[in-house]
Amino acid sequence: MFFDHLLGMSFRSLGEKYEVDPSTAYRRCLKELENLPHCADITRRYCDRFCGLLLVDGKYIAVKGYSRKIPVLYGIDYLTHDIPTYIFSVAENYQTCKAFFSSLRLLNYPLQGIVSDDNSNIYQAGSFIYPKSVSQICQNHYKQSLRLSLGVGRDPAYVPFMKEIEFLFQKKRFLSEFKSLAGKIYFKYSHDSVCVSVMTDIQKRLPQLLAYTSLPGLPTTNNLIESYNSHLEGRLKTIKGFESFDHADSWLNAYFIKRRLKKFTDCSGKFYSLNGTCSIQNTLKSDTDMKPLLNLIR
C-alpha cells in the first residue's frame, strides 16, 4: 500500500485495491512515511562525494487548507544526479531559499555553482550563504521569457531578432566572443527601442548569464531538474493534492529518498556511465555499506 501511494495512487484507489476505507489507507501510509529518516539526515550520515554544481528549482503542490499551491525547493548535484536535501514551505521567497542553502551548508555540501531559473531569491540567497559560489541563470528559461515578452508566437515582427538571440545563446562561448556577437546584434537593431532594451538587459545580466565562463563544467540550463520535475508531476497528478502539510512533506521526503535509490537506465552522452547505478551510490562516503539504505525503500 505504501509503495503504491509513492507511485501516485490516491487513498480512495488504495482503499478499493486493499479493501479498506480511505481513512485507514491514509493512517497506514502516513505511519510508514513518518518512520523514514529525513533526506538530509541520510546525506549527513552517508554522503560526501558531491561535485558542488547544483541545479535548483521549485515545484508547486496542492495541499488541503492552502488556497494556492505551495512549493518544494530542491537541488540536484549535476555530475552525480543525487539530491542532497529539499525544503517544503509555504512560499518560494528569500527566507525559504536562504533556509534551503543554510541546510546545505550544515550538510557540508561543497557548493561552487548554482543553476536556476530567473528567480533572484535563489541566487541571492545562495550567494549570501556561499559567498564564493557563482550563479547561472538557465538560458532556456531566459530565452523563453524573451519570446513571451516579444510576442514572437503571435506577431512575426521580432522573429528575426529573436533568431539572432537564439544563435547568441546557441552554445557556450568565451566572454570576448559573446560580447562581440552581442555588440553586432545591438548595432544592427539600434533603431528599435525594444531590441535595445533586450540587449541592455543581457549586458546587465552577463555575470549570471555567463557564469559558466568562471566555473568550468557548470551547465547553462536546468534541463536535468526539469526532467525530474516532469516525473514528480506525473506522480502528483493522480494524488490530486495532500491531506495536510505534514502528509505532503513526509511523502516528498519518501519520494526523494526513493529517487536517490532508483537505478538509472536511460542516461546518455557524458552521463552514460551512471546507468546501472543509483544517484546516492555515486556520493557515498568511502567504505559505506549500501544495504541499510536499500532496505529503506525498495
> Residue 125 and residue 26: Cα distance in Å, rounded?
36
Q: Quick one: 275 and 232 in the same domain?
A: yes
Q: Quick one: 250 and 129 in the same domain?
A: yes
Q: Quick one: 89 and 225 in the same domain?
A: yes
* 47 DSSP β-pair partners: 284
Q: Quick one: 234 and 121 in the same domain?
A: yes
Instruction: Assign residue 266 the CATH number of its domain.
Output: 3.30.420.10
Please tell me the predicted confidence (pLDDT) of residue 75. 97
Q: Quick one: 173 and 283 in the same domain?
A: no
Please tell me the predicted confidence (pLDDT) of residue 29. 82
SS3 of residue 189 by DSSP: coil
Q: Quick one: 82 and 179 in the same domain?
A: no
Q: At which of 175, 190, 214 does a domain end? A: 214
Q: Quick one: 155 and 281 in the same domain?
A: no
Q: At which of 163, 183, 214 does a domain end? A: 214
Cα 244–Cα 249–Cα 250 angle in degrees, nearest 5: 100
| pLDDT tens digit at each of 298 positions of the chain | 888 887 778 888 888 889 899 888 888 888 888 889 999 999 999 999 999 999 999 999 999 999 999 999 999 999 999 999 999 999 989 999 999 999 999 999 999 999 999 999 999 999 999 999 999 999 999 999 999 999 998 889 999 999 999 999 999 999 999 999 999 999 999 999 999 999 999 999 999 999 999 998 999 999 999 999 999 998 888 777 788 999 899 999 999 999 999 999 999 999 999 999 999 999 999 888 887 777 776 5
Number of residues in the chain = 298
Please tell me the predicted confidence (pLDDT) of residue 44. 95
Residue 175 burial (10 A CB sphere; 0-12, 13-18, 19+)? exposed
> Residue 253 and residue 269: Cα distance in Å, rounded?
30
* 113 DSSP β-pair partners: 53, 134
The answer for residues whose C-beta is within 8 angstroms of residue 188's C-beta and 6 or more apart is 164
Give buried/exposed letters for 194-211 (b at 16+ CB in 10 A, else e): ebeebbeebeeeeebbbb
Q: How far apart are the first and last CA of the chain?
A: 13
Domain that holds residue 104: 39-137+221-294
Report the run of H or E that residue 224 belongs to, with start and end: helix 223-239
Q: Quick one: 206 and 270 in the same domain?
A: no
Q: At which of 165, 192, 214 does a domain end? A: 214
How many domains, in total, are found in the chain?
3
Q: pTM, whole model, 2 decimals?
A: 0.91
Q: Quick one: 45 and 128 in the same domain?
A: yes
Q: Quick one: 150 and 193 in the same domain?
A: yes
Please tell me the predicted confidence (pLDDT) of residue 103. 97
Q: Quick one: 10 and 45 in the same domain?
A: no
Please tell me the predicted confidence (pLDDT) of residue 297. 65
Q: Quick one: 67 and 124 in the same domain?
A: yes
Strands 134-137 and 113-116: parallel
> Residue 233 and residue 254: Cα distance in Å, rounded?
15
